[in-house]
A and B are shown apart, each in its own frame.
Chain A
Amino acid sequence: MRQFTFLSIGILFGITMFKSEAASWFRIYEMFQFKSFHMYGIIGSALFFGIIIIQLIKRFKLKSAYGELIIIPDKQKSFNRYLIGGVIFGLGWGLSGACPGPLFTLLGAGFSPILIVIFFAMLGTWTYGNLRDKLPH
């Protein structure tokens, strides 16, 4: 049952990414050209509701579907890793036009060259794991 739940949430996510065109390379290119409000509207409205949802969850100590208190862990405090990692990610995002969610969506939509992007994204992840102790965090 739990497996079905997560699969269904993923299906809704994939449909949303594809239909809102957030998975399109062209929309990402256009976003970095500041030529359309579309992507800013998607991220901005997701954030607007996201902030309200999380504030309400905390204020009313909402419980999860399994009766446990919903706990959202704070992220580890640091600066270097977030900025440097962010810039590296951004370079890849601007080039491949795909962040990790759309990688999976585009595979399903039949753009098979995305398999190359996925393979190299795994290789990049593996390389990070290999170099982690040597990088500033």
Chain B
Amino acid sequence: MKIILEPWPWYIGGPLIALILFLLLYFGKNFGMSSNLRTLCAICGAGKKISFFDFDWKTQQWNLLVAGGAVIGGWIASTWLSNDLSVLIHPDTIIKLKGLNIQSAGSSYMPKELFSLSALTNPAALICLSLGGFLVGFGARYAGGCTSGHAISGLSNLQLVSLYSVIGFFIGGLLMNHFLLPYLL
């Protein structure tokens, strides 16, 4: 039990993701989480004016259930399966983040400076959350997939185009991390 309550090492997390990829294929589906955002737009009625959202969202019900399960899983893991939620990142990274005013680095799961209710009074935090979300949603649909659809499903199926996307993910991520984030935080 103690091992479960500790953070899981990469060699547990990675193979479990491959297992999830297999389970979805075995039940006749493909692993890809960002499609749910399109489905949610369709449920909200976006299909009335935009053809991209004009499809029978009920065919995507299975994926919404996976997303709903992910919500429940997050609740189970944080409530019942964790002793200490702090993420022990590299000491250099902790120092770097403290220099960027992220004081919660090394002592929490998410930066309190962005993901706590009190942070919502800070305009910079609101910009990070909203702009970050917008780019994730826009980019995932433009690229036709996110980390699960391209980096896991696509690359596992040796799709060259998924490699283009994953290279793009890292170009964008590195640009943000090294050049833009220091000004946004």
Where the two chains meet, the residues of A that have a C-beta atom closer than 8 Å to any C-beta of B are: 2-3, 5-33, 35-51, 53-54, 57, 62, 64-66, 68, 70, 72-79, 81-101, 103-114, 116-130, 132, 135
Where the two chains meet, the residues of B that have a C-beta atom closer than 8 Å to any C-beta of A are: 4, 7-30, 33-34, 36-38, 40-41, 44, 46, 50, 52-53, 61-63, 65-78, 81-82, 87, 89-90, 92-93, 96-97, 105-106, 109-111, 114-117, 119-120, 125-126, 128-148, 150-159, 161-162, 164-178, 180-181, 184
Instruction: Decide: A100 and B36 in contact? CB cutoff 8 A.
Output: yes
* Minimum Cβ distance to chain B for residue A53 (Å): 5
* Minimum Cβ distance to chain B for residue A135 (Å): 7
* Minimum Cβ distance to chain B for residue A63 (Å): 9
B52: chain A residues within 8 A (beta carbon): 128-130, 132
A86: chain B residues within 8 A (beta carbon): 139, 143, 150, 164-169, 171-172
With A and B bound together, what is the CA distance between A45 and B137 in angstroms? Answer: 26
Instruction: Decide: A46 and B33 in contact? CB cutoff 8 A.
Output: no
B21: chain A residues within 8 A (beta carbon): 46, 50, 53
How many Cβ-Cβ contacts under 8 Å join chain A to chain B? 511
With A and B bound together, what is the CA distance between A84 and B169 in angstroms? Answer: 9
Q: With A14-B72, A81-B144, A106-B74 given, is the CB distance from A126 to B41 under 8 Å?
A: yes
